[in-house]
Amino acid sequence: MRPVIVASVLAALSCPWTARAHDGGDVPPSLEPHPPERSSQPPSQPQPQQPQSLPPAQSPSAQPPPSDEQQRKLEEEIRKELGAAPGAPQPAPAPPGTSPEASGAAPAPQAPQGAQGAQGGNPYARLLLMPDISAIGSVGAAFDSYDVETRSPRPELFGPKNQPKFFFQELELGLQAVVDPYVRADAFVSFTPAGADVEEAYATTLSLPAGLQVRAGKFFSPFGRMNQQHPHVWEFVDAPLARTRLLAEETLSGPGVDVAWLAPLPWYAELHLAGQETAPFGEEKGGLTGLARILQYFPLGESTTLGVGVSAARRGEGTPGAFRDLGGADVYLRVRPLQTRAYLALQGEVYLRKLRGVPGADSTTRNGWWAQAFWRRDAWWGYGLRYEEAPGAALDLAGGTERRTSAVLAWLPSEFQRIRLQAGYDRAPGGRDGFEALLHLEFGIGAHGAHPF
């Protein structure tokens, strides 16, 4: 697409205004021919006019084509306007009908996980200085055979006992664009029944040396894999209980700075160091939080990739010597044959939390984990299974362990719509078991940038 845009712009720039006038185009006032001055003498007998030819300098066919050096400079300027790094080489086009993997070409290097793509989506929008605008909506219905609010408290997606309930979950508005060749900006605003909230709004550098990248603003904390994903990226409808009870009620996030370093190793290895103000469970005052994360991806063949991450965080709890320590590990294995659209994804996470020096708080180390498998059979159908364990949240049985098993069936009529049916069986402490079901519709419009792998 970009070579076509470059060629069109070059043709427009190389066409002189005088030539456009003969084609019926607009001419600047300074180049328009002046009307003949009126004479006091009577007009002479009209003479037959001979067709006039354009001077050589004004003839479109005689206009010399731009030199290779001029064309290179123009292409470089256009690439800068489209958001590419200065001097970035352009990949050679692959033969028709040949995928990059089949041709043996190495895949392009991926941006660090904090970035939503290095150049954005629509090149025409780049030329018009417009951001990529998208909207993703999600609605659904829930049925629970037990009192979830009392036995298994969670932030959302449940209904009263033995009564179906319809719900509007979220409308996410995304604005993404390249600011200049050095920085891009991403903003995501969430509209829910509780109100509107800026989920993320940050700027990311694009051209720092030594494999560095800096992200500043409000963003999801680089802790674990799932915490950095928006809900429409999840394979299942809801989040695991362990994440909502040990890490954050919804998402661990806040304003701050994240510095990422891509290590010069044969495999993908990235280090994140971040500082943020976070309020994971709706605290009135945010607490200063320091985070560190190491993420590595190992290719296990042409169609298999293994990702391993380790995360740690410490949050101040408002009083001297009081801290909340968090630890986590995540694993992601994806098998996707190159010749099909099917894939198998296995992933899981472990969370640890310990409160130190917090008055009246339990200093016991709490833990929880989840694991899931999702098989995308083809472009339209997918199936998943998840098992999880989390600390019980009921007030009278807060010390026990809650276990839940869920299955999901996904139907994707297109890449912009997804319908999921999820069923689960929850075994709460004290024999308080229950069945739950979720029917969920998700749709997306506009240009939404690709998410990190």
Phi and psi angles of residue 224, each rounded to the nearest 5 degrees, phi first: 70, 180
In the structure, what pLDDT confidence band is assigned to residue 122 with cuts at 50, 70 and 90?
low
SS3 130: coil
Give, as one character, the DSSP assignment of residue 150. Answer: H
> Which element (helix H / strand E) includes 77?
helix 68-81
pLDDT of residue 25: 39
pLDDT of residue 65: 72
Residue 90 has pLDDT above 60, yes or no: no
User: Which of 438, 369, 434, 424 has the alpha carbon at shortest distance from 152?
Assistant: 434
In the structure, what pLDDT confidence band is assigned to residue 429 with cuts at 50, 70 and 90?
confident
Q: Which residue has the tokens 């294995």?
A: 333
The tens digit of pLDDT for each residue in 319-369 reads: 899 999 999 999 999 999 988 889 999 999 999 999 999 988 888 999 999
- β pairing state of 212-220 and 268-278: unpaired
User: Rounded distance, CA 172 to CA 8, Å?
Assistant: 35
- Supply the DSSP string of 385-431, one letter for each residue: EEEEEEE---GGGTTSEEEEEEEEEEEEEETTEEEEEEEEEEEETTT
Which of 19-33, 79-93, 153-167, 342-356 ranks highest by mean pLDDT?
342-356
User: Which of 280, 246, 233 has the alpha carbon at shortest distance from 369?
Assistant: 246
Which amino acid is located at 329 in the chain?
Answer: A
Residue 79 has pLDDT above 60, yes or no: yes
SS3 288: strand
Tokens of 389: 């364990």
Region 435-451 average pLDDT: 91
User: Rounded distance, CA 433 to CA 437, Å?
Assistant: 14
- Supply the DSSP string of 131-199, one letter for each residue: -EEEEEEEEEEEEESS-HHHHS--SSS--SBT--EEEEEEEEEEEEEEEETTEEEEEEEEEETTEEEEE
Residue 386 contacts residue 409 (beta carbons within 8 Å): no
Q: Which residue has the tokens 């996904």?
A: 410
Residue 266 has pLDDT above 50, yes or no: yes
User: Rounded distance, CA 381 to CA 366, Å?
Assistant: 37
Pairwise pLDDT comparison (34 vs 366), residue with the higher score:
366
Which amino acid is located at 119 in the chain?
Answer: Q
- CATH class, range 123-446: mainly beta
> Which element (helix H / strand E) includes 18?
helix 17-22
pLDDT of residue 44: 42
Residue 20 has pLDDT above 90, yes or no: no
Q: Which residue has the tokens 């290895």?
A: 269
Tell me, rounded to whole angstroms, the distance of Cα 179 from its chain centroid.
17
Residue 274 has pLDDT above 90, yes or no: yes
The tens digit of pLDDT for each residue in 226-250 reads: 999 999 999 999 999 999 999 999 9
Pairwise pLDDT comparison (409 vs 158), residue with the higher score:
409
SS3 257: strand
Calculate the average pLDDT of the chain.
81
Beta bridge partners of 166: 141
CA distance readout (Å), 124 to 78, 120, 132, 176, 197 = 11, 11, 10, 14, 30
pLDDT of residue 172: 97
Residue 149 contacts residue 142 (beta carbons within 8 Å): no
Instruction: List the domain boundaries for the chain.
Output: 1-21+66-81, 123-446
Helix axes 68-81, 2-14, angle to 10 degrees: 120
Tokens of 422: 């999820």
Residue 138 contacts residue 442 (beta carbons within 8 Å): yes
Pairwise pLDDT comparison (217 vs 283), residue with the higher score:
217
User: Which of 332, 327, 406, 396 has the alpha carbon at shortest distance from 368?
Assistant: 327
Q: Beta-carbon neighbour count of residue 334 at 10 Å? A: 18
